[in-house]
Structure 1
């Protein structure tokens, strides 16, 4: 019998990569993609475990699962940092920090 590709194996890999790349988007994009990739990877792993000779693409699933876990961790850390900043210094404090940072950039560009 001909081997077939595991369902969603490429999608799992892509979602894992995107979850890492978008970790600096306040966790809003990368966290859901990482969770979806992890759920799909668990389903694909269970399907592969039933009959490994029938499917190919398990390496994509394993890699995507690892990337999804890394992406979830990075997104969660970034999201907790943003929440902590809003709780500790507030939106006005963050805006002041950004204005000071931009002034520093403009002064560096003038010199």
Structure 2
């Protein structure tokens, strides 16, 4: 019998990489994409445990799981830092700083 590939590994890997790239947007996209990827990986891991001899890409699954966990951790840390910064300085100060940065870069609002 020919071995198959686990169905969600590639999608979870793409979501994990996108989550890693999007972690700098206040951490929330990283948390969402990393969480979805981790859910898909866990689902495939359970599928693999039922019939391990039927699937060939378990090493990719393990790599994807590690990336998803790292993305979740980075996203959570960045989100907490952003929330703490807003709590300490206030929303108005954050918006004023953003406005000043945009003006320095020459971006009109």
TM-score of the pair, normalised by structure 1: 0.83
Per-residue deviation, 1:69: 0.4
Instruction: Indicate the larger mover: 92-101 or 16-25.
Output: 92-101
The separation in 2 between residues aligned to 1:6 and 1:47, in whole angstroms, is 8
Which residue number corresponds to residue 18 of structure 2? 18
Per-residue deviation, 1:104: 7.1
Question: Is the contact made by 1:12 and 1:60 (CA closer than 8 Å) also made in structure 2?
Answer: no
Question: Is the contact made by 2:34 and 2:68 (CA closer than 8 Å) also made in structure 1?
Answer: yes
The separation in 2 between residues aligned to 1:27 and 1:14, in whole angstroms, is 17
Which residue number corresponds to residue 109 of structure 1? none
Question: Is the contact made by 2:6 and 2:48 (CA closer than 8 Å) also made in structure 1?
Answer: yes
Give the 3 Å change call, closer, same or farther, for CA 103–10 of structure 1 in structure 2. closer
Give the 3 Å change call, closer, same or farther, for CA 83–4 of structure 1 in structure 2. same
The separation in 2 between residues aligned to 1:82 and 1:66, in whole angstroms, is 24
Unaligned runs of 5+ in 2: none
TM-score of the pair, normalised by structure 2: 0.84
Question: Is the contact made by 2:28 and 2:76 (CA closer than 8 Å) also made in structure 1?
Answer: no
Structure 1's consecutive aligned runs of 4 or more residues displaced over 6 angstroms after TM superposition are 102-106
The separation in 1 between residues aligned to 2:103 and 2:36, in whole angstroms, is 40
Give the 3 Å change call, closer, same or farther, for CA 32–105 of structure 1 in structure 2. closer
1:1-111 → structure 2 map (5 Å cutoff): 1-98=1-98
The separation in 2 between residues aligned to 1:9 and 1:52, in whole angstroms, is 15
Question: Is the contact made by 1:17 and 1:64 (CA closer than 8 Å) also made in structure 2?
Answer: no
Per-residue deviation, 1:22: 0.7
